[in-house]
Amino acid sequence: MRAVFFFNYDLCSSFFTIMNWKKLPYREIKNRVFEALGNNLNYQNEQILGLPATYLDQEQFYFNAPFLKDAPFLSVMIHNPNHIGCHTYSSGESYFKGTHQIEIDLIRICAEEIFNAEAGGYDGYVAPGGSEANIQAQWIYRNYFMKEKGAKQDEIGLFFSEDVHYSAYKGCNLLSIKPVCIKVDENRAWDLNDLEQQLIEVKKRGIKYPIIHLSMGTTMFGSIDSADAILAVFEKHFEDFFCHVDAAFGGFIYPFTATEDDSLSFANSKVHSITIDGHKMLQAPYGTGIFLCRKGLMEYSKTEEASYVQGTDFTLCGSRSGANAVAVWMILMTHGSEGWKYKMQHLIDRTDRICDKLDELDIEYYRNPDMNIVTIKAEQIPASLAHKFHLVADNFNDPKWWKIVTMSHVEKHVVDDFLIDLQKSI
């Protein structure tokens, strides 16, 4: 059965809060970054004896390259500020307070402007990736249940759909949390009957404290989990649970294109944390995942033993690149909220075009209309064609689906070439 969706899009509307961060001219972006860098400790000209770090190797990275005066991100990278800690929670190490402020503003934009958090009602940091951010959430909630509820590890379960990102399993393995996988229906939605039955069964096996992992854009299908329907089932069986939203892929597109509800944002009081990835839709360097959570939760991952770190540490990774936080902030400031809506709508339009042709050719596929992922049934497309255009399989050993992702590099002529070849193949 072909999954086809139709919708009307109003560029000025979004189901999320009215986003209104302003686009800045490049000169101002550059000036603010260099001003922040100037407020950091400088390894070149200050008397620094105690830090186990320094600027990047000068045999490979040269401070006096003339282009650096117009390259704020590269300048920050070479100066190598460490953003260890969580600067929305504590001021952190004073050595790099300038670029810390840029990260704090970035977290504010993501939490308040994009995901409807109350002003100051959140914590967050730029993680090495979405996998860490997802595991960070599991770590916090496991620690909360053990500390506040006296839970044993085998009484804590992570619940997710069969379309979940593999980091859910990785976190369960690392943290000794019980994984519970729920089936999906033909529309890639959680099978609520299976969920109901599994909740009954796991309670018999001693699970008392659920962590719910919802997806805003699953890896293979771009499907969006329905928070209200899923959480309503959990509320029938459990008094205490936490809900984490994995928006690693969808977080920088879906809030700008969707038009129906805000159940996967902080506007929903049952959502406690969110993951986003800057290095997917935002085109930031790899290592720019973002973790967001409500105030009062971050302290459950506080590492008291990190006493030599000003403000201590709360993250899995510890030391992390300040330059990556600057890169994400620069991108958001370059576009502004309206510019980013326009850019994401351009990708939706291009994805619509692919789906229109697939409908014409009567080819079966799945697509959420507010996302830029199209997943085609494997029997509908020759493997040679999938390999030619570097489509991604759900399982490369035995493909049942092939995935197209319409990213910024996917130009119209590439789409045309694919569609022409596809039509010839049938």
Pick from 66, 65, 67, 76: which is nearest to 36 by CA? 76
Q: Are residues 297 and 397 in the same domain?
A: no
Write out the residue range of the structural domain in which residue 244 sits. 94-335
Q: Are residues 322 and 373 in the same domain?
A: no
Query: For residue 12, what pLDDT is reported?
Result: 37
Pick from 199, 256, 258: which is nearest to 226 by CA? 258
pTM exceeding the 0.85 threshold for the entire prediction? yes
Q: Are residues 210 and 298 in the same domain?
A: yes
Please indicate, yes or no, if residue 311 is contained in any of the structural domains.
Answer: yes
Percentage of the chain beyond pLDDT 90 is 86
Mean pLDDT (whole number) for 263-267? 96
Mean pLDDT (whole number) for 90-116? 94
Of 301, 335, 369, the one marking the end of a domain is 335
Query: For residue 17, what pLDDT is reported?
Result: 58
pLDDT of 41-69, one tens digit each?
A: 999 888 988 988 899 999 899 888 889 99
Which long-range CB contacts under 8 A does 236-240 form with residues at least 24 apart? 236/199, 237/199, 237/200, 237/203, 238/199, 238/208, 238/209, 238/210, 240/145, 240/149, 240/208, 240/209
13 contacts: CB under 8 Å, gap ≥ 6: 259
Residue 173 has pLDDT above 50, yes or no: yes
Q: How confident is the model at residue 20 (pLDDT cuts 50, 70, 90)?
A: confident
Q: Are residues 315 and 374 in the same domain?
A: no
Q: Are residues 347 and 228 in the same domain?
A: no
Q: Walk across the sheet containing 392-393 and list its strands.
A: 365-366, 373-377, 401-405, 392-393
Q: Are residues 323 and 348 in the same domain?
A: no
Neighbours of 425 (CB within 10 A): 12
Q: Which CATH number does the domain housing residue 193 bear?
A: 3.40.640.10
Under DSSP, the state recorded for 233 is H
Query: For residue 13, what pLDDT is reported?
Result: 42
Q: Residue 349 corresponds to which tokens in the numbers above?
A: 């339009």
Q: Are residues 319 and 391 in the same domain?
A: no
Query: For residue 92, what pLDDT is reported?
Result: 77
Pick from 391, 398, 392, 402: which is nearest to 364 by CA? 402
Q: Are residues 287 and 323 in the same domain?
A: yes
Q: Are residues 347 and 282 in the same domain?
A: no
pLDDT of 285-340, one tens digit each?
A: 999 999 999 999 999 999 988 888 888 899 999 999 999 999 999 999 999 999 99
pLDDT of 177-199, one tens digit each?
A: 999 999 999 999 999 999 999 99
Q: How confident is the model at residue 18 (pLDDT cuts 50, 70, 90)?
A: low
Query: For residue 4, what pLDDT is reported?
Result: 34
Cβ(222)–Cβ(375) below 8 Å? yes
Query: For residue 294, what pLDDT is reported?
Result: 98
Q: How confident is the model at residue 15 (pLDDT cuts 50, 70, 90)?
A: low
CA 141 – CA 91 distance, rounded (Å): 24
Of 293, 313, 335, the one marking the end of a domain is 335
Query: For residue 16, what pLDDT is reported?
Result: 54
CA 79 – CA 73 distance, rounded (Å): 10
**Number of domains within the chain:** 2
Query: For residue 2, what pLDDT is reported?
Result: 35
Q: How confident is the model at residue 264 (pLDDT cuts 50, 70, 90)?
A: very high
Of 291, 307, 335, the one marking the end of a domain is 335
Higher pLDDT, 59 or 174: 174
pLDDT of 124-146, one tens digit each?
A: 999 999 999 999 999 999 999 99
Mean pLDDT over each residue of the chain, to the nearest integer: 93
Please indicate, yes or no, if residue 86 is contained in any of the structural domains.
Answer: no
pLDDT of 204-244, one tens digit each?
A: 999 999 999 999 999 999 999 999 999 999 999 999 999 99
Residue 166 has pLDDT above 60, yes or no: yes
Q: Are residues 352 and 244 in the same domain?
A: no
Mean pLDDT (whole number) for 350-361? 97
Query: For residue 244, what pLDDT is reported?
Result: 98
Give the distance between the most distant pair of CA atoms in the chain: 71
Residue 359 has pLDDT above 90, yes or no: yes
